[in-house]
Amino acid sequence: MRTVFWENNELKMIDQRILPARFEIVSYRSHKDVAFAITDMVVRGAPAIGAAAAFGLALAGYETASSSTSSLLADLGAAAAVLKASRPTAVNLAWAVDRIMRVAYSVTGSADDLRSAVLVEAQKLADEDVEINKRMAEHGAALIDDGDTIIHHCNTGALATVDWGTALGVIRTAHEQGKRIHVLVDETRPRLQGARLTAWELEQYGIPYEIISDNMSGYFLKAGKAQKVFFGADRVAANGDVANKIGSYMLALAAHDNNVPVYSVVPTSTIDLSLAHGDLIPIEERNMDEVLGIQFHGEPVAPKNAKARNPAFDVTPNRLLSGIVTENGVVYPPFDVNLKQVVF
């Protein structure tokens, strides 16, 4: 089943807030509700929220009663702004919305023709995401050796995409090729996407894994108990700096210090050649309740009046990366030269 899909004139998504305790599909008929679902992380992962936003624009077309193409385009433009504002760091969100709007502006027929074209393009984008993921997975799986233990951060599987996955898709493909692999799953605090989502996916695939807290990674890397590090990205700058889930930078530092290869796996839609370096990537800071709401043995961890900081992402400098895996091949340093060769 796809993470994000269109059915009976509704956008349907797996509710990732409640996994692994419950598996539920939620339905949406309003672009504003889709924007809130993206902000609230019903759906998450750069490719998945891009597809959700694309279908959100399709919903916006059917929400409005506009009968002329000009007024419908105005309504779609307003919806595009709402959707783009839902999460700032992942470039796939704006990329997907802009792609749909380019198609919308090219339509010369009636308002209904415009509505149909937007939905067709959104579905095409979603279908392409699955195909792109599988191409990435083939390139990335070649980097994994039989017997490898891999540290994986956050969730980059089917749940983070329309289907299959980026970094976890690579691991899944290596497993299906018959390679004996083991995954150390970073919990990925504070929202615990590793412990909740990646572990759940690995169980579905039958891949051996163990959950570790984020601050254990250095131990396993120094002890020689992990041979590779894989994670995804929400935006890659032109020089190869990678913005990914908070904690990726520290993981890459520890791996680099112990000569363990680090790979970021991304579709080329995540590469933002308009940004020269990672310091220009906007970093979303989320509600401090995500940090303070964590409990231990059923009791709050933090004092009642505590405050917290909650940046959702950090930037891993390109010097810490061994390669960036894309659907068009593995990119190696110098990234500022070679990334341009894979973005068509």
Catalytic residues: 234
pTM for this entry: 0.94
Whether residue 58 has pLDDT greater than 90: yes
Q: Report DSSP letters for 231-291, one per residue.
A: E--SEEETTS-EEEETTHHHHHHHHHHTT--EEEE--GGGEETT-SSGGGS---B--THHH
Residue-wise pLDDT tens digits, 288-326: 999 999 999 999 999 999 999 999 999 999 999 999 999
Q: Are 140 and 181 in contact (CB under 8 A)?
A: no
pLDDT band at 1 (very low <50, low <70, confident <90, very high): confident
Whether residue 259 has pLDDT greater than 90: yes
Residue 114: CA count within 13 A, CB half-sphere = 27
Q: What is the pLDDT of residue 230?
A: 98
Q: For 186-196, what is the mean pLDDT?
A: 97
Residue-wise pLDDT tens digits, 72-113: 999 999 999 999 999 988 889 999 999 999 999 999 999 999
Q: Are 321 and 252 in contact (CB under 8 A)?
A: yes
What are the structural domains of the chain?
A: 4-134 (1.20.120.420), 135-341 (3.40.50.10470)
Q: What is the pLDDT of residue 90?
A: 81
